[in-house]
Amino acid sequence: MKYDLHIHSKYSSDGILDPEKIVKIAIERGLNGIAITDHNTIKGGIKAKKYETEDFKVVVGSEIMTERGEITGLFLSEEIEFRTKHNLTIVGGSDAHFLNEIGEGGITTEAEDIREAIMKNDVKVFGKRSSLVNHVGTKVLKLWRKTVRFG
């Protein structure tokens, strides 16, 4: 199985794509599934879940920036109330997947192997940072959104 487990949609501060478009791109790139992990919301994942099929799975997630770093929750079914009730997060920038990066990283393993590794606390994560161009793109996108919003 090939999944991209860190994608932001238009519901995140640094995403621009509609969840339907993300699913279409991921399928075109040969993925078996994705996780939409927007900042502090599951809206994008819930929308993308509507396009799930037997051959393509969507994991609903959320990336939460706390004072001690980012936490990514997967397989969520509702917003994390404690976080929103007590305003414990800040929205931060991210290097999570511009259009050209969807499906470029990934793992190949069985879902049961992942579950067992998590239960045994035997998980190591390796990945790559986005290119400098994408980081600059994130900053430009944020500036553009502020300009449009506050004119």
Provide the residue range defining the domain that includes 55: 2-150
Residue 46 has a CB neighbour count (10 Å cut-off) of 18
Tally of domains within the chain: 1
Is-contact 38 15, C-beta < 8 A? yes
Q: Is the pLDDT of residue 48 over 60?
A: yes
Is the pTM here over 0.75, yes or no? no
Q: What is the pLDDT of residues 53-102, one digit of tens each?
A: 999 999 999 987 666 667 888 898 887 665 555 555 444 444 444 445 55
Q: What is the pLDDT of residue 55?
A: 94
Q: What is the pLDDT of residues 97-132, one digit of tens each?
A: 444 555 555 555 566 766 666 666 555 544 445 555
Q: What is the pLDDT of residue 70?
A: 75
- The residue count of the chain comes to 151
Give the H/E segment covering residue 132: helix 132-150
Q: Which of 85, 121, 69, 94 is nearest to 9 (CA)?
A: 94
Q: What is the pLDDT of residue 22?
A: 96
The beta-strand segments (E) located in 67-118 are 69-74, 107-108
